[in-house]
Amino acid sequence: MAADAPGRVLVVYSSQYKSQADTYAALVKQRLGDDRVLMSEAGSQSSIKETIKTHYNEPEKLTYVTIIGRDVDAPTGSHSGRECDNCYGMMSGGTQLDLAVGRISGDIDTYLNKLKNYDSKSTAPWNKQAYGTACNLAGDEYSTATTVMSNLQKDGFTTDWKKATQTSGSASLSKMNAGLGVFFYLGHGSGTAWNTPSVDERDIEGLSNTDMPFFEIDVSCNNGGWSGKKCMGEALITARGGAISTMMSAPTARGTMCKCYQRKAADAIGTGAASRVGMVYLTGLQKAQSEDKDDYMLEAYNIFGDPTLWLAFAKGTPLSVLV
């Protein structure tokens, strides 16, 4: 697995979004330095793979890939059968994740503006607030929620979570608007919505937390399926309010590895094992995979947002940020 370090980032962009890719690259250069950003106009899936492989094998290595545009192709997971951006990050064979791959698609300009205004050094109290909901599906969801919140408390978070049967979507939206560093969801999804409790894309578009975007840790079905349509993952990052990043499953979420991932991602935050968006997600996935192997779920997830971004609530200091 790639280290939680500044690293180099390859920006792969659809030709129609070259200006947005240039804007994104400029933002990353401000944080990481001019020599850390590589650019590549997207071609075929095989050509994208080859470009990634070439840069990964260079002495300077490669740590991140950011894809700009929904029409940039991705592999199909051999186990999940769905679009799999994570598959671009499997450099050493099998399902080992060696790179953090994030996608910015949908209303790209709105997300870039959100990214531009995100303060990785912010100490505002809302950054250390966490809230979530859990639906009892297989019997271990409530214990998962308890562990997630306990792990976040290691990083000084004030936490709260509710059983889906005892709360509402409007309550979740109210918490988001008040300011959250982390939002946790464990329940049913339908591609364009959380269903337990109900929050859909229109609700997300109506959020007013425009200067308080949250990091989202998710288990829901189908909400990460970006191919050919807007999905909940896109809605979350491209709404003026909403999330700075999320990672969601394109196919039906299954088994227990996905819940193990939530616990491990929260632990990575709480212990300081990972501090950047992509590395929190990858650390959670890889540790879950080592304990509860499920190649299907490893391939199921897609990251939406900038994988290089240092999270404001993370332990330590973003020393790579240029000031």
For residue 120, give both structure tokens: 């990785």
What is the pLDDT at residue 322? 40
Query: What would the pLDDT profile of 218-227 be if each residue is shown by its tens digit?
Result: 999 999 999 9
- CA neighbor of 107 nearest in space, from 226, 201, 250, 234: 234
Which residues are CB-neighbours of 188 under 8 A, at least 6 positions away?
135, 137, 194, 195, 196, 220, 221
Beta bridge partners of 199: 194
320: left (phi over 0), alpha (psi -120 to 50) or beta: alpha
Question: How does residue 321 score in pLDDT terms, banded at 50, 70 and 90?
Answer: very low
Q: Is 290 buried (19+), middle (13-18) or exposed (0-12) by CB count in 10 A?
A: exposed
Query: What would the pLDDT profile of 134-172 be if each residue is shown by its tens digit?
Result: 999 999 999 999 999 999 999 999 999 999 999 999 999
Q: How far apart, in whole angstroms, are the C-alpha atoms of residue 124 and residue 104?
A: 26
32, pLDDT greater than 80 = yes
What pTM value is reported for the model? 0.96
Query: What would the pLDDT profile of 254-312 be if each residue is shown by its tens digit?
Result: 999 999 999 999 999 999 999 999 999 999 999 999 999 999 999 999 999 999 999 99
323, pLDDT greater than 50 = no
Answer yes or no: are the C-beta atoms of 248 and 220 closer than 8 Å: yes
* Same topology between domain 9-116 and domain 119-304: yes
Ranges of each domain in the chain: 9-116, 119-304
175, pLDDT greater than 60 = yes
Q: How far apart, in whole angstroms, are the C-alpha atoms of residue 249 and residue 221?
A: 6
Answer yes or no: are the C-beta atoms of 36 and 90 closer than 8 Å: no
Residue 259: strand, helix, or coil: helix
Q: CA angle at residue 174 from 172 to 179, to 5 degrees? A: 100
What is the pLDDT at residue 94? 79
CATH 3.40.50.1460 fits domain 119-304: yes
Side chain identity, residue 127: N
For residue 4, give both structure tokens: 């939680």
**Pair type for strands 64-68 and 100-104:** parallel
Answer yes or no: are the C-beta atoms of 314 and 268 closer than 8 Å: no
Q: How far apart, in whole angstroms, are the C-alpha atoms of residue 102 and residue 85?
A: 7
Residues in the chain: 323
Query: What would the pLDDT profile of 66-124 be if each residue is shown by its tens digit?
Result: 999 999 999 999 999 999 999 999 998 778 899 999 999 999 999 999 999 999 999 99
What is the pLDDT at residue 319? 59
Mean residue pLDDT across the chain: 95
CATH of range 9-116; options 1.10.150.120, 3.40.50.10390, 3.30.360.10, 3.30.200.20: 3.40.50.10390
Answer yes or no: are the C-beta atoms of 222 and 214 closer than 8 Å: no
